[in-house]
Chains A and B, each alone.
Chain A
Amino acid sequence: MTSPAPTSPAPTSPAPASPAPTRTAAEPVGEFLDAVARHDIDAAMAAVGPQVAVTVYPLGVADSGAGALRGVLDDLVRGFPDLVISVSRVIVTGDVVTALVKAEGTQSADYAGAINQEKHLDVDQAWRFETAGGLITAVAVYWCQAQLYRRLAVKRYDEIAIA
């Protein structure tokens, strides 16, 4: 993400071909999402560049490196072992790929500060990927943490661990 600008930036059109012309922007993203849906985090990370920029707004994560993204995915699968990721739409705009997904599962461990009350979760999310050279180089994830906490029976943001 670029720094704040006082006015809207010039629109971008589809970018020139990447250095790996045999792989489209959608391919690594598809591989990543398929692997996450299988809970195969190693396979998901194979589609990710080593210096990937990772921003997960609802979790306050703004980091770089494959380890940061792996940590986010590990926490998700650990917290919701029956996690189901359903992709409703994939939008390719040049080297940017945006996936609209629904994450569903039953909480089985503490997650995002919320204690496990075995509640069912279903939260709509948007994952915006940037790709280059056939790999994911940046990911920004959006969902509403109020919706997540509401489903996990959290009552207050300043007392997340109190049911």
Chain B
Amino acid sequence: MTELSQRPRTAESAAAVVTEFFDRYRAHDVDGMTDLCSITARFSYVPVEIWGKQRVLRGDGTVGTVGKPLWTGLIASFPNLSNIVHSITSNDDGDVVVQADIEGTQQLAWGLIAPAGRHYREPHLFIFHVGPDLLIDGITAYWNDAGISQQLGHNEVD
């Protein structure tokens, strides 16, 4: 990260940080992914919501408190978890937009989905913000969770 952080923030350097993030994700290096983020990096996985009787748990918080546990759990449930990056666009303000597929084969329970050894591959859109220090300070992601559930054989909405 030292080499990256010594460069000024440009569209290219911001995209390079995010490219490295996906490389580390592909290598299951969750600590390395977190190292690319600021300590207060915002995190929002928009489709994540668990409806209880009195409250709704959402995938919002910080990378350290929500993102890291979520990535760790995802990798535990899908030991061959991988990503395929299709496009990265960026600007000099540090915004980076990524189209990527996330895929994996389920070995452990994931949420309400019991493991059946099935594989999923689902398109995702990630919006990153990279700060002037070349650390990621915001991650937001969108995808169709129904697509994942159905591919894994789980047909109940909740």
Report A's interface with B, CB cutoff 8 A: 1-2, 4-9, 11-14, 57-58, 91-94, 96, 98, 100, 124-126, 128, 140, 142-147, 149-150, 154-159
Cβ B15 vs Cβ A98 within 8 A: no
Q: A11-B11, A91-B95 are in contact. List 11 more A-B contacts (CB 8 A).
A: A1-B87, A8-B23, A11-B88, A12-B90, A57-B144, A92-B91, A100-B140, A144-B46, A156-B156, A157-B146, A157-B150
Q: Do A91 and B127 have beta carbons less than 8 Å apart?
A: yes
Question: CB-defined interface of B128-158 with A at 8 Å, one 1/0 digit per residue?
Answer: 0000000000001011111101100001111
Whether A13 touches B147, Cβ cut-off 8 Å, given contacts A5-B85, A158-B155, is no
A142 touches B142 (CB 8 A): yes
Query: For window 37-91 of chain B, which residues contact chain A by CB distance below 8 Å?
Result: 46-47, 49, 51, 84-91
Inter-chain contacts of B156 with A (CB < 8 A): 155-157
What 0/1 readout, one digit per residue, does chain B (9-43) give for beta carbons within 8 Å of chain A? 01110011011001100000000000000000000
A91 to B129, CA, bound (A): 11
The CA of A163 and the CA of B16, in the complex, are separated in Å by 48
Say how far B101's CB is from chain A's closest CB, in angstroms. 7
Query: Which A residues touch B95, using CB under 8 A?
Result: 91-93
- B115 adjacent to chain A (CB < 8 Å): no
For chain A, what secondary structure do more than half of its interface residues adopt (helix, strand, loop), or is it mixed? mixed
Bound Cα distance from A8 to B95, whole angstroms: 18
Chain A residues positioned under 8 Å from B19 (CB to CB): 8, 11
6 pairs, CB–CB < 8 Å, chain A vs chain B:
A8-B85, A9-B85, A9-B86, A9-B87, A93-B91, A124-B142
* B125 interfacial by beta-carbon distance below 8 Å: yes
Complex partner residue of B11 from A13, A57, A100, A150, CB under 8 angstroms: A13
B143 near A2 (CB under 8 angstroms)?
Answer: no
Cross-chain contact A13 with B90 (CB below 8 angstroms): yes
Q: Is the CB of A93 within 8 A of B90?
A: yes
- Known contacts A12-B15, A124-B46, A155-B157; A140/B91 CB under 8 A: no
Chain A nearest CB from B49 CB (Å) reads 7
- With A8-B88, A128-B125: A14-B144 Cβ-Cβ less than 8 Å: no
Q: CA separation between A161 and B46, bound complex, in Å?
A: 25
In the assembled complex, the Cα of A93 lies from the Cα of B144 at a distance in Å of: 23
**B85-103 near A? 1/0 per residue, CB < 8 Å:** 1111111100111010100
CA distance A159 to B150 in the complex (A): 12
Task: Please give me the residue from chain B that is nearest to A55 by CB atom.
Answer: B123
Contact of B89 among A94, A124, A154, A159 (CB under 8 A): A94
